[in-house]
Structure 1
């Protein structure tokens, strides 16, 4: 685990803002982040190539950092779900959308990545979507996947995680 993990929340793609179910994220609108020369960036494989064109640092294409897999519901409108489906999707961490993954499995995937992060350097950067960052925060805080709805992160938010015996989070 690196000494410091700088986390930057990527923006969601336009359809997610229109009540469309998606885990897709975009890249930051500006390149205002400055990093040390030996810093490595980890991002979902869906945006890694675009980030490589923007930053002159190693960008690791990391499929595990994709958002929750909504399966057949990816791209569907929330309004198209029945009240029961909407309830279970948003309130039951063990609920699995058709051919997708549960919020609990998503949480476990992100938690495993965080705890197994194989970096032998001082600092690293994670650029991922709000749902991934929410799960990272829940892991650090010792919460379970059921608390995901209690936390919301905007695109562009930055925070730092470090671990020296216990987790430390620094916002901003």
Structure 2
């Protein structure tokens, strides 16, 4: 397994000692801040800044794969036009979108039956109509992690990153309710000799430079 290190205008391959997956937690749609489940087409976002670009370079991930969940957009207000016109720089990963809340998408929590919300929080096999249960969501993310065999940066919503952590720790899906992961933070998962590890979870971006 190799990584690429920028050197002037070219790249120099360098051997990885272990697989590294850096996960950046995107900011959630406004729906969530209004105590609603996110609408089906709502997008989370991450605001790219010069510091973020520098972070990518500092971690030697500019030449590695960049992955983005389909329910997240990367906003680059200060990027050059040539950079904005290169969507292929980030590879969409459909398997890493947030949980599907089905008929609950866009609904206020206060408008839903209390007994359904209790099941939603405490029964991992419960699913909203036409939606996913927590266990099904976890299985989708776990399947992707099991098949991932490269190094890169992932931009996804916090729930997805917590599901990755649950898979790595080999614990049940409900552990996600006990993990606090702030928007805009960075987590690192590594794999060495076939074993995944949680190297860092929810670190402040300023600590990661």
> Normalised by the shorter chain, which TM-score bucket?
0.7 to 0.9
Cα deviation, residue 112, structure 1 = 0.4
Task: Give a deviation string over 1:41-81, Cα, whole Å, max 9, x none.
Answer: 11112335757739887211111111000011100000011
Task: Give a deviation string over 1:80-104, Cα, whole Å, max 9, x none.
Answer: 1111011011111100100111110
- Is 2:26 the partner of 1:10? yes
Residue matched to 1:108:
139
- Is 2:141 the partner of 1:141? no
Aligned length: 169
Structure 1 gap ranges (5+):
none
Is the 1:40–1:57 Cα contact (8 Å) retained in structure 2?
A: no
Does the C-alpha gap of structure 1 residues 170 and 56 become closer, same or farther in structure 2, counting only changes over 3 Å? farther
Higher relative contact order (CA 8 A, sep 6+): 1
TM-score by length of 2: 0.73
Cα deviation, residue 167, structure 1 = 2.2
Bigger radius of gyration = 2
Larger deviation, residues 14-23 vs 101-110: 14-23
Residue matched to 2:160:
132
- Report the aligned-residue RMSD: 2.4
Structure 2 gap ranges (5+):
2-17, 77-82, 204-209
The structure in which a higher percent of residues are strand is: 2
